[in-house]
A and B are shown apart, each in its own frame.
Chain A
Amino acid sequence: MESITGLILAKYNYWMYISLMMIGLYAMIAKNNLVKKIIGMNILQTAIILFYISIGAKKGATIPIIMHSEGHGHEAVHAVQYMNPLPHVLMLTAIVVSVATLGVALALAIRLYARFGTLEEDEINDQIREAP
């Protein structure tokens, strides 16, 4: 029993991230509306980013900005005291790229709406089939 409680306490974060990822994947596959699909894609993206950031977290550590004072230099830095900065760096750029891809996806959706007059995928498919 002890070990199961310990397991849940150590891992429940990961399970929540996986649930978020599955919500995003479900929206991408099963939803019919293009904007809903784009929202699902963003949720999937952010779930993965969340997972990476959680890898960088350390118990009992502080934010990765080195404590220093002007003119006195600084004490020797112990890596245990600071969070892991590497996932933060990688995911920071990923967020900004995700907003750029969001812009392109929405632009495509607007073009499709101008062409077909609807955002529902099945109606677009029907119109494509009917046209010779």
Chain B
Amino acid sequence: MLCCWGMLVHATLDFPGWGDPNAPAHLHVAPEYLEQAYEETATPNVVTAVLADYRGYDTMFETAVIFSAGLACFFLLRVQPRKEEEEDRFFRHLATDMVIRIRTPSMHVPDSPYLQQLDPYWTPRSLIVRAACRVLTPFIQLFALYVVAHGHHSPGGGFQGGVILGASFILIALSHDLRTSMKMTPEKLMGVLSPAGVLIYAGVGALCVVAGHNFLDYGALAEWLGTAPEAARSLGILFVEVGVAVCVMATMIIIYANLSSAGGYKQGL
């Protein structure tokens, strides 16, 4: 290990000094991005412009990688509980806090607003934690939407906004239980949204082809949107970022739900 460290340190002797403005990395393509990004895309945040426009292919397949990671987690861990092996079920009567235990697996309990199904290891969470997380969640989600929509002018964008949006549902799962969270974000909906995000991204690219330009060349959308090509590029970046955010959010929730319940979707952390 030390030998490897020594060799790598020796290799750094040929590097340009740290923060040197004349390093080769700063001299080729980067100045063009910096100087032209605002004129060509009307997007002051150059990172967003390069991410979604100049290097759009890269980001599209990045999104596809995230989707396939969610898919891999799903296939590795998800198990459907078999009916005959099902353990005792517990239901809590909400008004009196009494808990009913049902031992016969064949007995059907209809959905009712007065009964809440509990997990065998359920323990009551602190009221303060639950109330605080419940109050905080809408603000987190609002901030996530702001991050997605304002990625052109400030740091942020689809990836960050999607992760924060997913994290708000994970917070609900942590402070209440996984069942409550999965009622808000049903598994089937998340399974649809995750590929839908990738499809939004690819669909925006395909629309550009239909309009007669190259794939992911958002300037093509100018005629349909009735704006200048620069503004159309800015809007195209926004559409693409929404696709990224949807995909990332759904994937984070899928991965969390599978990891924390080892595939059973019954009880989380």
A and B touch in the complex (CB under 8 A): yes
Q: Which residues of A contact B (CB under 8 A)?
A: 7, 10-15, 18-19, 21-22, 25-26, 54-61, 63-68, 74, 76-80, 82, 84-90, 92-93, 96-97, 99-101, 103-104, 106-108, 110-111, 114
Determine, out of B57-65, B114-122, B125-133, B203-211, the stretch whose residues face the partner at the interface: B57-65
A-B contact pairs, 29 of them (CB 8 A): A10-B18, A13-B18, A14-B12, A14-B18, A18-B12, A21-B8, A57-B19, A65-B44, A65-B47, A65-B153, A66-B34, A66-B38, A76-B35, A78-B35, A79-B31, A80-B21, A82-B46, A85-B46, A86-B50, A87-B25, A88-B47, A89-B51, A89-B55, A96-B248, A97-B65, A100-B251, A103-B259, A104-B76, A107-B76
A110 contacts B159, C-beta separation under 8 Å? no
Please give the distance in Å from B9's CB to the nearest CB on chain A. 6
Contacts A92-B47, A103-B73 aside, 14 further interface pairs with beta carbons under 8 A come to: A55-B23, A58-B19, A59-B19, A65-B44, A65-B153, A66-B34, A66-B37, A68-B38, A82-B34, A85-B37, A86-B50, A103-B69, A107-B258, A111-B76
Q: Cβ of B171 < 8 Å from any Cβ of A? A: no
Q: In the bound complex, what is the Cα–Cα distance between A36 and B37 (angstroms)?
A: 43
A92 contacts B51, C-beta separation under 8 Å? yes
Determine the chain B residues whose CB is within 8 A of the CB of A88 once the complex forms: 47
B73 contacts A79, C-beta separation under 8 Å? no
Q: Cβ of B13 < 8 Å from any Cβ of A? A: yes
CB-defined interface of B25-54 with A at 8 Å, one 1/0 digit per residue? 110011101110110000011110011000
Q: Cβ of B219 < 8 Å from any Cβ of A? A: no
With known contacts A86-B29, A100-B65, A107-B76, A77–B154 Cβ distance under 8 A: no
Most B CB atoms within 10 A — which of A18, A85, A87? A85
Determine the chain A residues whose CB is within 8 A of the CB of B258 once the complex forms: 107
Q: Which residues of B contact A (CB under 8 A)?
A: 1, 4-5, 8-9, 12-13, 15, 17-21, 23, 25-26, 29-31, 33-35, 37-38, 44-47, 50-51, 55, 58-59, 62, 65-66, 69-70, 72-73, 76-77, 153-155, 159, 163, 248, 251, 255, 258-259, 262
With known contacts A18-B9, A21-B8, A64–B18 Cβ distance under 8 A: no
Determine the chain A residues whose CB is within 8 A of the CB of B25 once the complex forms: 55-56, 84, 86-87
Please give the distance in Å from B256's CB to the nearest CB on chain A. 8
Most B CB atoms within 10 A — which of A18, A74, A78, A89? A89
A93 contacts B58, C-beta separation under 8 Å? yes
B17 contacts A11, C-beta separation under 8 Å? yes
Which residue of the partner chain, among B31, B66, B259, contacts A96 with CB atoms under 8 Å? B66
Q: In the bound complex, what is the Cα–Cα distance between A103 and B8 (angstroms)?
A: 30
B77 contacts A97, C-beta separation under 8 Å? no
Which residue of the partner chain, among A61, A65, A76, contacts B45 with CB atoms under 8 Å? A65
Q: In the bound complex, what is the Cα–Cα distance between A13 and B9 (angstroms)?
A: 11
B18 contacts A54, C-beta separation under 8 Å? yes
Determine the chain B residues whose CB is within 8 A of the CB of A80 once the complex forms: 21
Please list the 6 inter-chain residue pairs (A to B) with the smallest Cβ-Cβ separation, ordered nearest first.
A100-B69, A79-B31, A10-B17, A103-B255, A59-B19, A85-B46
B154 contacts A59, C-beta separation under 8 Å? no
Please give the distance in Å from B12's CB to the nearest CB on chain A. 4
Determine the chain A residues whose CB is within 8 A of the CB of B248 once the complex forms: 96
Chain A: CB-nearest residue to B34 = A79
Q: In the bound complex, what is the Cα–Cα distance between A47 and B30 (angstroms)?
A: 23
Determine the chain B residues whose CB is within 8 A of the CB of A84 once the complex forms: 25-26, 30
